[in-house]
C-alpha cells in the first residue's frame, strides 16, 4: 500500500521522483500512527477530490501547517475538522468546484475592468490554509489572497498575500472604492463570510507564528510581504495568544460626527458600497450551501430543506 500511495502522490513529479517516493515511504515508517490516521481519514471515495490538486495530501501532517507550534496530531485533527465542516456546510457540487475550480463571490467593476472575489483551494498557500479567498482579475491573476481554515466554528487565518506585481492595482482600487484599500476589503470580506456561516470567532496569525518561521524554512519568512500584526491591529484585532490576534466578526464603522466634514461623503459612500457588496456575496454564496444560513431554522426545517430537491440550486 505504501508504494502505491507514494507513487500516486508523486506521479507528476518531473525531478527527483525516486527521491520523493523514498521520502514518502520513509516518513510513513517513521510516523506509522500519523500516516495510518491520515489514510483512514482521507483516503476514501468521499474525500478523493482533495487529492486532485494535492496528490501528496497524506503527508500534509508531516510539515508545518497554519501556524508554528502545531504537532502532527494537531494538524490531523485540524484537517479532519475542517473537511467535516465543509461537508456539513457546502453542497457536494460546491465542494468539488472549490477543489477543482473556484466559487465566484462577487464582481467589482473599476474603470471598465472587472475583478472577482473567489473561494477555492489554492496550492500556492497550501501550508497556510485549506481555503483561499482571492481578489483577482479576469485572467485569474490574484492581487490579494487570504488563506484560512475552519475548526469548531472558528475561522483561522494563516496568511494574507499581496501580488508581487501590483501594477498600480491597490491605488486604483482605493481610489475607486471610496478610500477602501484592497487588503482592508479582504478583511471585511472574510468577516462577511464568517458572519454568514455562523462562525464564533476569527483568529488571524501573528508575524511571529507564520509557518515560514519554522526552522525547516530558514529565512523564508523574509518573503512575507505584509506586516500581519499591523494589519490586524488596524482592523481592531487584539492579542489572543502566542499565535493569533482575535478579529471582530464585523468591522467597526465610524460615526459621521467623528469624521471631518470633507471626508463624510466618502465614508458614507464606502459604507453603502460595502453593504451592497455584502448582499451580493450572500446571494452568490447561498446556492452553494446545504441549507440557508443566518436563518433561524429548526432541525426539522433543515431536514425539509435538504430533502426538497426543488429548493436546491445546482452549481453550473
The torsion defined by the Cα of 124, 128, 129 and 135, in degrees rounded to 10, comes to -50
What CA–CA distance (Å, rounded) separates 157 from 115? 23
In the CATH scheme, what architecture does the domain 92-311 have? 3-Layer(aba) Sandwich (3.40)
Whether residue 312 contacts residue 91, with contact meaning beta carbons closer than 8 Å, is answered with yes
Per-residue confidence (pLDDT) for residue 305, from 0 to 100: 46
Per-residue confidence (pLDDT) for residue 167, from 0 to 100: 86
Per-residue confidence (pLDDT) for residue 12, from 0 to 100: 78
What CA–CA distance (Å, rounded) separates 25 from 7? 10
What CA–CA distance (Å, rounded) separates 58 from 64? 14
Instruction: From first to last of the 316 residues of the chain, give the pLDDT tens digit.
Output: 788 887 787 877 778 888 988 888 899 899 999 999 999 999 988 999 999 999 999 999 999 999 999 999 999 999 999 999 999 999 999 999 999 999 999 999 998 899 999 999 999 999 999 999 999 999 999 999 999 999 999 999 999 999 888 889 999 999 999 999 999 999 999 999 999 999 999 999 999 999 999 888 877 776 777 899 999 999 999 999 999 999 999 999 888 888 888 899 999 999 999 999 999 999 999 999 997 665 445 545 544 544 454 333 333 2
Per-residue confidence (pLDDT) for residue 316, from 0 to 100: 27
β-bridge mates for residue 150, sequence order: 155
What CA–CA distance (Å, rounded) separates 249 from 193? 9
Query: What are the extents of the domains in the chain?
Result: 92-311
Whether residue 109 contacts residue 309, with contact meaning beta carbons closer than 8 Å, is answered with no
β-bridge mates for residue 110, sequence order: 113
Per-residue confidence (pLDDT) for residue 304, from 0 to 100: 55
Per-residue confidence (pLDDT) for residue 38, from 0 to 100: 94
What CA–CA distance (Å, rounded) separates 28 from 46? 23
Amino acid at each position: 500500500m505504501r508504494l502505491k500511495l507514494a507513487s500516486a502522490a508523486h506521479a507528476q513529479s518531473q525531478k527527483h521522483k525516486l527521491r520523493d517516493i523514498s521520502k514518502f515511504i520513509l516518513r510513513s515508517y517513521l510516523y506509522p500512527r500519523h500516516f495510518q490516521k491520515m489514510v483512514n481519514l482521507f483516503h476514501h471515495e468521499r474525500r478523493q477530490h482533495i487529492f486532485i490538486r494535492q496528490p501528496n495530501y497524506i503527508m500534509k501532517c508531516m510539515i508545518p501547517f497554519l501556524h508554528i507550534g502545531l504537532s502532527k496530531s494537531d494538524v490531523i485533527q485540524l484537517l479532519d475538522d475542517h473537511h467535516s465542516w465543509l461537508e456539513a456546510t457546502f453542497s457536494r457540487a460546491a465542494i468539488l468546484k472549490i477543489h477543482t475550480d473556484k466559487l465566484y463571490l462577487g464582481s467589482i467593476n473599476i474603470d471598465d475592468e472587472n475583478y472577482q472575489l473567489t473561494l477555492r483551494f489554492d496550492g500556492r498557500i497550501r501550508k497556510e490554509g485549506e481555503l483561499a479567498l482571492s481578489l483577482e482579475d479576469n485572467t485569474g491573476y490574484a492581487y490579494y489572497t487570504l488563506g484560512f481554515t475552519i475548526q469548531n466554528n472558528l475561522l483561522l487565518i494563516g496568511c494574507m498575500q499581496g501580488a508581487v506585481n501590483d501594477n498600480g492595482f491597490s491605488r486604483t482600487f482605493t481610489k475607486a472604492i471610496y478610500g477602501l484599500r484592497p487588503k482592508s476589503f479582504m478583511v471585511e470580506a472574510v468577516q462577511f463570510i464568517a458572519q454568514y456561516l455562523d462562525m464564533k470567532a476569527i483568529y488571524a496569525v501573528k508575524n511571529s507564528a507564520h509557518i515560514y518561521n519554522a526552522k525547516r524554512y530558514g529565512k523564508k519568512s523574509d518573503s512575507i510581504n505584509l506586516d500581519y500584526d499591523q494589519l490586524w491591529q488596524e482592523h481592531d484585532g487584539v492579542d489572543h495568544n502566542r499565535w493569533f490576534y482575535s478579529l471582530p466578526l464585523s468591522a467597526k464603522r465610524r460615526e459621521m460626527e467623528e469624521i471631518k466634514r470633507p471626508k463624510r461623503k466618502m465614508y458614507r459612500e464606502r459604507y453603502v458600497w460595502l453593504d451592497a457588496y455584502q448582499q451580493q456575496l450572500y446571494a452568490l454564496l447561498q446556492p452553494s450551501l446545504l441549507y440557508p444560513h443566518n436563518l433561524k431554522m429548526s432541525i426539522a426545517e433543515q431536514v425539509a430543506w435538504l430533502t426538497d430537491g426543488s429548493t436546491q440550486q445546482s452549481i453550473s
